Structure 1
Amino acid sequence: MQQLNRRSFLSASAKATAGLSMLPFLSKTSLWSENMFFNISLAQWSLNKSFRNGTLDPLDFAQIAKKEYGISAIEYVSQLFSDKADDAYIRELKKRADDHGVTSVLIMVDREGNLGTTDEKERAQAVENHHKWVEAAKELGCHSIRVNAAGQGTADEVKDAAIDGLGRLTEFADKHDINVIVENHGGYSSIGTWLVDVMEGVSHPRCGTLPDFGNFRVSQTETYDMYKGVEELMPYAKGVSAKSYNFDKKGNCKEVDFARMMQIVKDAGYTGYVGIEYEGNELGEKEGIIATKKLLEKVGSKMS
């Protein structure tokens, strides 16, 4: 695998495709304001309840993002349409996105096996299971698939296995010009230093991270400092997930200091997409997405 030092990772992570939204109806500020150092995308998970219960059709995701939220970039979630995702379905997803002028950013891939499992046969199968999503991402015009570095065993055992699994998958993805990015998503992956070690072990320009503002629960009894974790993962970031939960009367997220988080993101030199991923329970999905978007715009406009 190609060797890459930490500085090269930082340079590569700052390069991301950009979109343009001409629908400022949700706020007085245009979505791609010159005052914003980042672009906003919408993670499909923010609407997972509506997609799961059939209220919304995954094929309409691009239209929903553009017309209802004024967002021109989307992040798919594989488990919300994996039972339908044949070649024809992926082509139709692409057509719908193109028809509405929406950029497909990435696919969050789950339930395809653990890339960090210490069982070599299972790990090889997990790598192969992800191939179809690399190909789907290529067809859609995404820059990455998001995967998980999960596995059972000691931290060192899972780290070594994850380096191997991610490395093999990244070599395949590289042939398709697709990145493989890992989210802090529970277990060892929610330990910033552990995931950094994995990144440095893979040491490939197409393998990076998707820092998530939440998801720093290591176990039922252990959590990792979210701000420290995001800061550690940002040098390898090819995407950022702005996880939001509940909001106070001033429109700030109660659980996450967005101003502090976005300063960390900016200080890392990142200028790509920041995906809205609402998971609160006090507001409905639509209201939560709008609240998160307004908060990102408010914070971003102050960071010129």
Structure 2
Amino acid sequence: MSNTTKNTETTSSRRNWLKNVGMLGAASMAPSLVMAGSNHEKKHSSLYNNQPIRLIVSTYSYWHFEPEKYPIEKVIENAAKIGFDGVEILHRQMENESVEYMNKLKRMAFERGLALPFLSIHQNFVEPDAAKRKEHIEHTLRCIKLAVQMGIPAIRMNTGSWKGKRPADYYEHGRKEPTEGYTDQDAIKWVIESMKECLEEAEKAGVILCLENHWGLSSNIDYLEEIHNALSSSPAMGLNLDTGNFVGEPYDDFERLIGHADIIQAKTYYGGGKYYDKDMDYDRFAKIMRDANFTGYVSLEMEGDEDPETAVPKSYKLLREAFAV
């Protein structure tokens, strides 16, 4: 079977899936669902869009896990005033998981003309204990239900990382040593098995699970691609690329994976990075995205120490200029 035939069949399968799930309204906000079958099959080739890239802002940009949470309601209000197209919700930033609260966020966004395309959650499948992996699977399944309630079509997923203290140079290589008696290949197997279980429910719900290069095991781009390719036959499998989470210079690895990407998170570091600093050439990122015909959302994650009330508008201006047509 030719690559063209495989791509056509995969595209048809994904479109039929979206038609049959009960979340067409949410799914219509999502980027392309045409998944590549190999690194050489580009999923965006038939999705040309001459509009500017849609910019959203992660609620994380306003709250870096301090004791007092920055209200998501206020992020939604800020996003509308600044000019963003939507808001990414950080699960840990939610005040609660009540239907009343989630409906409030959904209505606030709708009334301001904002999309809610992405829910970022935390889980760790790099766990030798099968019972603990199961806990993280159950957490993910619960979050899929939350996404459905809020009309969110995609969820950020992590591979996770080995236990233990982060080495001083962790953000230079992203690596932790495996737990004694285990290897990274064991961890890859656990991630694939756990993701498969989550994807079964995600397919039914019409929610895309976007695996991110989020340090830990996924710092190794070969590992990330191996996991992605093992799961790419699922119409609910996706990929999220974080510009700031690549080891070393990001551009070659970003270009290598952009053909698989469903959404992108773009880091800025005004006031100095919370965990690390990186110089970001967003004109260069934008060219790579245009060349790959990426048409999905770009979500700002402002991870600097500057007051987000000033740093987020600066970041918006930077990204909006870079990603304009």
Could you tell me the TM-score, scaled by structure 1's length? 0.78
Aligned counterpart, 1:250: none
Correspondence for 1:90 among 102, 105, 126 = 102
Gaps of 5+ in 2: 15-26, 32-48, 163-177, 272-276
Cα distance, 1:236 vs structure 2? 2.1
**In structure 1, the residue corresponding to 2:238 is in which secondary structure?**
strand
Contact 1:17–1:272 (CA under 8 A) maintained in structure 2: no
Closer, same or farther: CA 135–18 of 1 in aligned 2, 3 Å:
closer
Gaps of 5+ in 1: 20-33, 217-222, 248-252
Moved more, 143-152 or 172-181: 143-152
Q: Could you list the per-position Cα deviations for residues 138-175 of structure 1 after superposition, in whole angstroms to 9, with x for gaps in the alignment?
A: 12111101111114342211111111111111111111
Aligned counterpart, 2:322: 299
Contact 1:181–1:208 (CA under 8 A) maintained in structure 2: yes
**In structure 2, the residue corresponding to 1:146 is in which secondary structure?**
strand
CA distance in 2, matches of 1:9, 1:227: 31
Contact 2:99–2:149 (CA under 8 A) maintained in structure 1: no
Aligned counterpart, 1:198: 227
Residue 213 of structure 1 aligns with an amino acid whose one-letter code is T
Cα distance, 1:224 vs structure 2? 4.3
Closer, same or farther: CA 35–168 of 1 in aligned 2, 3 Å:
same
* CA RMSD in angstroms, aligned pairs only: 3.0
Cα distance, 1:51 vs structure 2? 7.9
Aligned counterpart, 1:179: 208
Aligned counterpart, 1:99: 111
| 1:211 lines up with 2:223 in the alignment | no
| 1:43 lines up with 2:53 in the alignment | no
Aligned counterpart, 2:310: 287
Count of residues paired in the alignment: 267
Runs of 4+ more than 6 Å apart: 8-12
Cα distance, 1:232 vs structure 2? 2.6
Cα distance, 1:238 vs structure 2? 1.3
| 1:159 lines up with 2:188 in the alignment | yes
Closer, same or farther: CA 7–104 of 1 in aligned 2, 3 Å:
same
Closer, same or farther: CA 197–8 of 1 in aligned 2, 3 Å:
farther
Q: Could you list the per-position Cα deviations for residues 255-283 of structure 1 after superposition, in whole angstroms to 9, with x for gaps in the alignment?
A: 111111122222222101111111123x3
CA distance in 2, matches of 1:285, 1:236: 31
Cα distance, 1:9 vs structure 2? 11
Cα distance, 1:59 vs structure 2? 3.0
| 1:60 lines up with 2:91 in the alignment | no
Cα distance, 1:284 vs structure 2? 2.1
Contact 1:38–1:273 (CA under 8 A) maintained in structure 2: yes
CA distance in 1, matches of 2:9, 2:241: 14
Cα distance, 1:124 vs structure 2? 1.8
CA distance in 2, matches of 1:280, 1:6: 43
Contact 1:245–1:278 (CA under 8 A) maintained in structure 2: yes
CA distance in 1, matches of 2:30, 2:54: 7
5 Å matches for 1:1-304? 7=7, 17=29, 36-49=51-64, 53-54=68-69, 56-67=70-81, 69-81=82-94, 84-110=96-122, 113-152=123-162, 153=178, 154-203=183-232, 204-216=234-246, 223-246=247-270, 255-281=279-305, 283-301=306-324, 304=325
CA distance in 1, matches of 2:118, 2:208: 9
Residue 41 of structure 1 aligns with an amino acid whose one-letter code is I
**In structure 2, the residue corresponding to 1:264 is in which secondary structure?**
helix
Closer, same or farther: CA 225–10 of 1 in aligned 2, 3 Å:
farther
Residue 189 of structure 1 aligns with an amino acid whose one-letter code is S
CA distance in 1, matches of 2:156, 2:63: 17
Contact 2:89–2:119 (CA under 8 A) maintained in structure 1: yes
Contact 1:114–1:151 (CA under 8 A) maintained in structure 2: yes
Q: Could you list the per-position Cα deviations for residues 52-73 of structure 1 after superposition, in whole angstroms to 9, with x for gaps in the alignment?
A: 535x422333222112x12230
Closer, same or farther: CA 298–138 of 1 in aligned 2, 3 Å:
same
Residue 59 of structure 2 aligns with an amino acid whose one-letter code is Q
Counting aligned pairs with the same residue, the percent is 24
CA distance in 2, matches of 1:179, 1:197: 18
Contact 2:54–2:85 (CA under 8 A) maintained in structure 1: no
